[in-house]
Amino acid sequence: MDREACVRRAAELVPVLRERAPQAETLRCVPQETIDDLCRADLLRAPLPERFGGCGLDFDIILSVAAELGRGCGSTAWCYGVWAASNWIVGMYPAQAQEEFWATGTNTFCAGSLNPAGATSLTAVAGGYRLSGQWDFASGCDAATWVLVMGAGPPGVLLFLVPRSDVAIRDTWFTSGLRGTGSKDIVIYNAFVPEHRALSVTDLQEAHTPGRALHDTANYRIPLLSAVSYPLAAPMVGMAQGAVETFQAAMQHRTSALRGGQMAQLTGVQVRLAEATMEVEAARLIMHHDIHNILDRARCHATPTLEERLRARRNVAYVATLCVRAMNRLFDGSGGYALFDASPLQRFHRDMHAASHHVSFSWDTASEQYGRVLLGLEPTNRRF
């Protein structure tokens, strides 16, 4: 399957995702029917390494697919981004871990949380580690058979690959937006994690992982933080595009009781739509231009400079900022009808604002760090 076929399959799912979006909100997770559709369309298989049955497409296919899915259901697109990005990270582990992970086939779902909800316990033991703790915001965890979690201890900061059998889900996800992501807490108690399922976060950040030698493709020469946030920004681009389509259709058929005549005849409506489409197009162009630059450097085995790394973090935050602006512009001009549950626009609006709260999309932080480097100063947070 090539990238055009993959994007087309994602686009073909948009109508049914729109229909199921209220169901995803009610269930507070992605419906099983949607998971089955994603599997039948082979959308998780597209970026996976060929060695394990994947299509081996470049990392940017995740963004294109997530943006398409976001036009129909923001929660589904968000979870797809998490599942696809998590599978990309699994490709950085030693061969033994990957063989265990994909033993059941390419449609293996992995959730993750890099954010401990409290203290974690990590102890080095013979052959691996003992891990306990609680992590929040584990999007898509209900469908996952594996999870990725971060832990710190004497060995340093490590990213652990843990089977679902060692994980309990704590239902904490009662939110205003992205309800269908089921981003609940996950709890691990005294699980044994073998050494081959633990990766140094420093090695991930520098793209010096076993998976790089195993697959030797551009996807595995990318430093983790240069790209890992884009699979979550892409659903925002999709949601903004879905809002544009919803607003456009509504204004073509609605009349103004105050002024009389069609809403489409109002200058304010026309200007809002034009400005929002420009913001969405700009966000999409920045996203794809940036990820293509990242991939080009990876193909040349080039290590990104500090300025290039922080530019990527700046760009992904600005993509999110543009999407929020477009969404607010359309929602503010949609009148009272946009408030009803039956309106997809209110769900897009809630989901967009929920997505924008992700730490990766803090424009204040991203712009500050990038600005410091441009002025010859050290960043205040090297991990960022």
**Tens digits of residue pLDDT in 369-380:** 999 999 999 999
With 80 as the cut, is the pLDDT of residue 320 above it?
yes
Q: At what angle do helices 267-299 and 306-332 cross, to 10 degrees?
A: 160
Alpha helices in the chain (DSSP H): 3-12, 14-27, 32-40, 60-70, 74-90, 95-101, 201-206, 210-215, 224-227, 230-253, 267-299, 306-332, 344-355, 363-374
168-170 and 156-163 beta bridge pairing: unpaired
Q: What is the mean pLDDT of residues 342-362?
A: 95
pLDDT digits (tens, 9 = 90+) for 185-235: 999 999 999 999 999 999 999 999 999 999 999 999 999 999 999 999 999
Band of residue 383 on the pLDDT scale cut at 50, 70, 90 = low
In the predicted structure, residue 155 carries a pLDDT above the cut 90: no
Task: Give CA–CA dist 329/18, Å, rounded.
Answer: 21
Q: What would the pLDDT profile of 102-138 be if each residue is shown by its tens digit?
A: 999 999 999 999 888 777 899 999 999 999 999 999 9
Q: What is the DSSP string of 80-93?
A: HHHHHHHHHHHTTS
Contact 226, 85 (CB under 8 A): no
CA 60 to CA 217: how far, in whole Å? 13
Among candidate residues 100, 190, 183, 102, the one with its CA nearest the CA of residue 151:
190
pLDDT at 384 over 60: no
Is the CB of residue 54 less than 8 Å from the CB of residue 48?
yes
Q: What is the pLDDT of residue 256?
A: 67
Amino acid, res. 138: A
Residue 341: what pLDDT?
Answer: 87
Q: Give percent above pLDDT 90 in the chain.
A: 87
Model pTM? 0.96
Please tell me the predicted confidence (pLDDT) of residue 260: 62
Residue-wise pLDDT for 223-267, tens only, equals 999 999 999 999 999 999 999 999 999 988 887 666 666 888 888
Q: Name the packing angle between helices 344-355 and 230-253 (round to 10°).
A: 160
According to the model, what pLDDT value does residue 257 have? 63
Give CA separation, 238 vs 69, 165, 207, 328, in Å: 7, 34, 29, 15
**Average pLDDT of span 341-348:** 93
pLDDT number for residue 327: 97
Task: Give the domains, in start order, of the chain with CATH numbers.
Answer: 3-104 (1.10.540.10), 110-200 (2.40.110.10), 224-374 (1.20.140.10)
Distances (CA, A) of 165 to 24, 78, 93, 187: 25, 24, 20, 11
Q: By percentage, how much of the chain surpasses pLDDT 70?
A: 98
Residue 4 has pLDDT above 80, yes or no: yes
Structure confidence at residue 65 (pLDDT)? 98
Task: Inform me whether the pLDDT recorded for 140 exceeds 90.
Answer: yes
Give 384's contacts (C-beta < 8 A, 6+ positions apart).
225, 313, 365, 369
Quickly state the pLDDT bin for 335 (edges 50, 70, 90). confident
CA 13 to chain centre: 18
Q: How far is CA 229 from the centre of its chain?
A: 6
> Bigger pLDDT: 1 or 316?
316
* Mean confidence (pLDDT) of the chain: 94
Q: Using an 8 Å Cβ cutoff, are 66 and 56 in contact?
A: no
What value does the mean pLDDT take over residues 144-151? Answer: 96
